Amino acid sequence: MGKPTGFIEYLRELPVDRSPTARVGDYKEFHEHMDEKKLRTQGARCMDCGIPFCHTGKLISGMASGCPVNNLIPEWNDLVYRGLWHEALDRLHKTNNFPEFTGRVCPAPCEGSCVLGINNPPVTIKNIENSIIDRGWDEGWVVPEAPKVRTGKTVAVIGSGPAGLSAAAQLNRAGHTVTVFERADRPGGLLMYGIPNMKLDKKEVVLRRIKLMEAEGIKFICNASVGTGDKDNVEPQIFLKEYDATVICTGATLPRDLPIEGRNLKGVHFAMEFLTANTKAVLGNNGASPILATSKDVVVIGGGDTGTDCVGTSMRHGCSSLLQIEILPKPPLERQADNPWPEWPKTYKLDYGQEEAAAKFGADPRIYVTTVKKFIGDAAGNVKELVTVEIKWGKNDKGQFVPQEVPGTEKTRPAQLVLLAMGFLGPEQPLLKELNLETDPRSNIKAEHEKYTTSLKGIFAAGDCRRGQSLVVWAINEGRGAARECDRYLMGSTDLP
């Protein structure tokens, strides 16, 4: 590396975010940029560690360790340190089609496995990645690159989330004619409607990339419902008849429900209903009727990124109070002995939404080892309260850890808006059934990792619909992999990575 002693000389530094009290007044991205001198200094902290774990992309103890798209992190850190930004962008794009997405929304498993992080704060990999691609756009270095030769093969991609977009980009690069089908009114899938604008700007970031892909020759068809039951306007059989191959990237969009007393009361919504309606309103509504948290006592059930996004959105609506309920124990402040490096560090953090709630209401809104027993409604059928109970985790007669209620800990809490953010069970089934695709025991499309071939010839599957709910960066990994295998199927061999 250019600065072998940089990790000794310099401390970790991140750009200062916009003030929590100021940023809740709008939907602009809340991260500020860092000046070039400081970025180069942070790049200098990347060690000449010999065996970097940051780009390994392995699953350890069920969690990502290192970058799932195998970003060449030490290389572009060194190039940034030396001021070679264009070269850094070239190295970044070799493995990642959309670094402006991962640089904003990825939880950075690369940093969790940084060698420096064994006994010091890790390198600021995510911020450097985002700075490289943002500079690339600003300088005009990111331009359409249409293939010089077309193969004459046609490929359909169903779903325009991160897996679908990366599959489309790679297949187009190979020279195939690619059409992407999206059931929503705008392309982007999870990137468009599952992640709020303040975390990932839609017009300036998501649609900018999609417009570039269109300029490269990719066709997007929106409002295209495929295999969703009565609302279909695209017959699933056309993919078998009219395309040489199809890649299914529909995501894992079937939410986990909470079937308790009062679940059908008005004001109890799945998180994605809330987030999608809000983003449509921010972008100009398009007929959407937003679910408002304004002047309401809001309860978010579930943690993770989706729960945090519900918290941040509710804060921007101007909620009266906010409570977030998590069934798991509060994480420790530091790594524990059973969570060693290079595993993902399961430690406590105050994410942007909780930081905003704490700034307004005085404390982190989360309570732990707690679950909800029932919802209580008013005379008009609106939710007005819910009953919580503390739990403890213990083994059942089969040796499985299960939650057990703690007697005498029931509490009735106000709630005029309840948002269920408890994860997803898998892909919606109608399309899979109409195509008669084989599924695994978890209801995902059965397709082996690194091969992505389904039970139907010429049909491939990638992303959350194949692996279950996961990270954006894993979806990009899978979309690229499925494109490679699809290209091999169409041409007999492939040059795609």
Q: Domain ranges for the chain, please list them.
A: 6-139, 154-253+425-491, 257-422
pLDDT at 231 over 70: no
The residue to which tokens 């992309």 are assigned: 57
pLDDT at 228 over 70: no
pLDDT at 229 over 90: no
pLDDT tens track for 432-452 = 999 999 999 999 999 999 999
Spatial contact of 389 and 413, defined as CB atoms under 8 Å apart:
no
User: How far apart (Å, rounded) are the C-alpha atoms in residues 277 and 186?
Assistant: 13
Q: CB atoms < 10 A from the CB of 27, how many?
A: 21
Spatial contact of 299 and 413, defined as CB atoms under 8 Å apart:
yes
* pLDDT at residue number 282: 94
One-letter amino acid of 175: G
- According to DSSP, residue 185 is labeled S
* pLDDT at residue number 227: 72
Count the helices and strands in the chain (H runs, E runs): 17, 18
User: How far apart (Å, rounded) are the C-alpha atoms in residues 1 and 45?
Assistant: 10
Q: Where do runs of H (alpha helix) occur along 116-247?
A: 125-139, 162-173, 207-215, 238-242
User: How far apart (Å, rounded) are the C-alpha atoms in residues 458 and 237?
Assistant: 13
* pLDDT at residue number 399: 86
pLDDT tens track for 126-174 = 999 999 999 999 999 999 999 999 999 999 999 999 999 999 999 999 9
Helix (H) or strand (E) holding 387: strand 383-395
What would you report as the CA-atom Rg of the chain, rounded to the nearest whole angstrom? 23
pLDDT at 286 over 80: no
Q: CB atoms < 10 A from the CB of 397, how many?
A: 5
* pLDDT at residue number 287: 64
User: How far apart (Å, rounded) are the C-alpha atoms in residues 327 and 157?
Assistant: 37
Average pLDDT in the chain: 95
pLDDT at 288 over 80: no
Q: CB atoms < 10 A from the CB of 473, how many?
A: 25
pLDDT at 426 over 80: yes
CATH label, 6-139, candidates 3.40.50.720, 2.60.40.1180, 3.40.50.620, 1.10.1060.10: 1.10.1060.10
State both tokens at 342: 């290079």
Spatial contact of 395 and 220, defined as CB atoms under 8 Å apart:
no
Helix axes 125-139, 73-81, angle to 10 degrees: 60
What pairs with residue 453 in β-bridges? 460
User: How far apart (Å, rounded) are the C-alpha atoms in residues 84 and 38?
Assistant: 15
Q: What helix, strand, coil percent values describe the chain, rounded to 5?
A: 35, 20, 50
Angstrom distances, CA of residue 486 to CA of 18, 65, 242, 492: 44, 27, 16, 10
The residue to which tokens 């350890």 are assigned: 60
User: How far apart (Å, rounded) are the C-alpha atoms in residues 75 and 424?
Assistant: 36
pLDDT at 230 over 70: no
Q: What is the mean pLDDT of residues 352-364?
A: 98
Spatial contact of 158 and 239, defined as CB atoms under 8 Å apart:
yes
Q: DSSP states of 134-167 as a string?
A: HHHHHHT-------SS--S-EEEEE--SHHHHHH
Percent of the chain residues topping a pLDDT of 70: 98
Decide if 6-139 and 257-422 have a common fold.
no
* pLDDT at residue number 398: 87
- 62 or 320, higher pLDDT: 320
CATH label, 257-422, candidates 3.50.50.60, 3.30.460.10, 2.40.100.10, 3.10.129.10: 3.50.50.60
The topology under which CATH files domain 154-253+425-491 is FAD/NAD(P)-binding domain (3.50.50)
User: How far apart (Å, rounded) are the C-alpha atoms in residues 96 and 282?
Assistant: 28
User: How far apart (Å, rounded) are the C-alpha atoms in residues 412 and 251?
Assistant: 36
pLDDT at 389 over 90: yes
State both tokens at 141: 């270095």
Which is nearest to 69 in space by CA: 343, 497, 477? Answer: 477
* pLDDT at residue number 384: 98
pLDDT band at 226 (very low <50, low <70, confident <90, very high): confident
* Cis amide linkage into residue 122, ω under 30° from 0: no
User: How far apart (Å, rounded) are the C-alpha atoms in residues 294 and 322?
Assistant: 11
Biggest CA pair distance of the chain: 71
